[in-house]
Amino acid sequence: MAEKITQQAVLAALSKVQEPELHKDLVTLNMIRDIEIRGSTISFTIVLTTPACPLKGSIENAARAAVLEIPGAKTVQIKMDASVPNDGRSRGLLNLPVRNAIAIASGKGGVGKSTVSANLAVALAQTGARVGLLDADIYGPNIPTMLGVHDIPGTNGNKLIPAEAYSIKIMSMGFLVKPGQPFIWRGPMLNSAIRQFLADVEWGELDYMIIDLPPGTGDASLSLAQTLPLSGVVIVTLPQTISLEDASRGLAMFQTLEVPILGVIENMTGEFFGAGGGEDLARIAKVPFLGSIPMELNVRVGGDTGTPVVVSAPNSEAAKALKAIAGQVAARVSVEALTQKNAPTIDII
Ligand SMILES: Nc1ncnc2c1ncn2[C@@H]1O[C@H](COP(=O)(O)OP(=O)(O)OP(=O)(O)O)[C@@H](O)[C@H]1O
Ligand SMILES: [Mg+2]
């Protein structure tokens, strides 16, 4: 009769499987749960650091192969789960239960920050993550239109209840000010408006808070970066030179403020604006390149009609690119959370 398979043997096998982004093995990372052994059948759960993990499939395959190496092992059943670690910076986000706050920025207006913010938020939620979207563009809020919501449901005590669409929670100045009404903000008001948006809104527990920044490296972005303990910032750029110059200015500003740069996204890639500039910028700035999004009509139409392209045309090239980028962003956030100085160990609840 074959020797009995032990828990130790399973752990030993899984300790040879590396998490490719975090460069540690699954056992050291405390990702293995609920090992059960019934004869030659072994089952366990792998708890990843994000449900949006782009390497989910390959980690599962590697774990299966490793466990099948154990003498006597015939069947391996793996349950994939995720618990997003707290990045340790956003933990103090005005005492909100937000695990990671991610700002979407650019040096220049009109490059697709809001489009990217809306689609990334929805794409992350589609993987099962708990996601909030804060429209920090208090001068020209576009998020309500892009997600087809125009009001918040109301208040709970003295807290605003965020709007909800496509399983994400949304807050925007656009909900509080009537269309056409001018917004007049000065520095200190701007700060307190942003703070209020975070502190006085009933967000609930969030794995990711996506923050759509106003254009440019002006006051608003600056004060936000200083007020909020951001996990990191994603820089959106068009492929052509002029936009890249602006984007690299934006990037430099966040670097000066010591906000981690999660990476660069190139948007509107194609015949019109060209291709490849975003990748060049990332290489020169020595930050990750997260992917490029083609210029497509359905992206614009999705934004105008309140149905983001990842929902309205999920199989389009643009939607596929946005979903892959959401995975990349989540992976970068996990890496930042687990590799920064004084990083907490994964606190899986
Ligand atoms: N990949 C794309 N393909 C086609 N149209 C796009 C794409 N990305 C964005 N757009 C369109 O370009 C316009 C500008 O995008 P968006 O409003 O997201 O930019 P922004 O950077 O947030 O602008 P602002 O700086 O004014 O806040 C919108 O009409 C949007 O639908
Ligand atoms: Mg915008």
Confidence (pLDDT) at 348? 34
Q: Which pLDDT value is given to residue 195?
A: 75
| Mean pLDDT value across the chain | 87
Encoding tokens for residue 176?
Answer: 């509080």
State residue 345's pLDDT score.
38
Name the strands in the sheet holding 32-38, side by side, starting at the edge strand that comes first in the sequence: 32-38, 41-48, 75-82
pLDDT single digits (tens) 53-84: 999 999 999 999 999 999 999 999 999 999 98
Q: Report which protein residue has its CA nearest ligand 1's atom 23.
A: 110
Instruction: Out of 106, 113, 115, 120, give the residue to mutate to test ligand 1, the one with the largest number of ligand atoms within 8 Å of its CB.
Output: 115
User: What distance in Å separates the CA atoms of residue 201 and residue 100, rounded to the nearest whole number?
Assistant: 17
Q: Can you tell me the mean pLDDT for 185-203?
A: 74
**Per mean pLDDT, which range of 146-160, 181-195, 222-236 is the poorest?**
181-195
Question: What is the position in ligand 1's atom list of the atom closest to the CA of 300?
Answer: 31
pLDDT tens across 79-116, in order?
999 998 876 665 455 667 788 899 999 878 889 999 99
Q: What is the pLDDT of residue 106?
A: 87
Q: Is the pLDDT of residue 254 over 70?
A: yes
pTM of the model: 0.88
For 227, the token pair is 């007020």
pLDDT band, very low/low/confident/very high, at 342 (cuts 50, 70, 90)? very low
pLDDT of 300 reads 95
Q: Is the sign of the CA dihedral 97, 309, 260, 82 positive or negative?
A: positive
Cα of 342 to ligand 1 centre, how many Å? 38
pLDDT band with cut points at 50, 70 and 90 for residue 257: confident
CA 160 to chain centre: 24
Range among 67-71, 182-186, 211-215, 332-336 rated most confident: 67-71
Backbone angles phi, psi at 147, to 5 degrees: -110, 5
265 Cα to the center of ligand 1, angstroms: 13
